[in-house]
A and B are shown apart, each in its own frame.
Chain A
Amino acid sequence: QKEVEQDPGPLSVPEGAIVSLNCTYSNSAFQYFMWYRQYSRKGPELLMYTYSSGNKEDGRFTAQVDKSSKYISLFIRDSQPSDSATYLCAILYSGAGSYQLTFGKGTKLSVIP
């Protein structure tokens, strides 16, 4: 059973649309929730992290966590062509003196001008 599930897409939207990206997870011991953006042939870039249920906003990006449903989302408002990338959710497990990020497989997003 995979610990983090993410729809791989691809997802194609027109410029200006609101984008919703989602992940589900199975391990309730997960503590932190992150979203990364990865452009082709580049390393992942940290967008946002949060640890509590609810919303966290940063500019056009909003991260939402629902721990009761084990569901996390990233919303992108007023999407731009420069947002075209693969978006990875990542969830942090902490225990026994170690930390381990478990990643979703990523959703490829294309924003069409």
Chain B
Amino acid sequence: GAGVSQSPSNKVTEKGKDVELRCDPISGHTALYWYRQSLGQGLEFLIYFQGNSAPDKSGLPSDRFSAERTGGSVSTLTIQRTQQEDSAVYLCASSPSPGTPYEQYFGPGTRLTVT
């Protein structure tokens, strides 16, 4: 079956612009996660969705970052007023239910470059 998909695969933007990153989870998966992967920093948790609600936003690095999920499916991560330190690969993962967080399936990521 289809895996997690993310778009765009690459995004180059100028400092100060807003960007939106999209994630389509595996069909039927109710839990969705966003991570950021930077060179030398490893994978960093950003936010977790259970259905359309986000019980844990603790990983969002600043108030310039926000995320939403609609219809229990597609999620969008928005970064406002991008900064160069936001350059990273943004990864989305989904799991079958909130009760199976150990079984996360990742998308290919969106490589964001802020110039």
Contacts and interface: CB of A to CB of B under 8 A. Distances in A.
Interface string A31-43: 0101010000111
Nearest to B45: A100
Interface string A72-113: 000000000000000010101010011111111110000000
B101 A92 contact: yes
B43 A103 contact: yes
Interface residues of A, number: 25
A45 B106 contact: yes
A104 B107 contact: no
Contacts of B25: none
A10 B53 CA distance: 40
B105 interface: yes
Interface string B76-115: 0000000000000001010000100111111111010000
A71 interface: no
B101 A99 contact: yes
Given A32-B102, A41-B111, A106-B42, 7 more contacts: A42-B108, A43-B91, A44-B43, A100-B45, A100-B58, A105-B40, A105-B42
Interface of B: 4, 33, 35, 40-43, 45, 48, 55-56, 58-59, 91, 93, 98, 101-109, 111
19 contacts: A32-B102, A41-B108, A43-B107, A44-B43, A46-B103, A46-B104, A51-B102, A88-B42, A92-B102, A98-B58, A99-B48, A99-B56, A99-B101, A100-B45, A101-B33, A101-B35, A101-B104, A103-B42, A105-B41
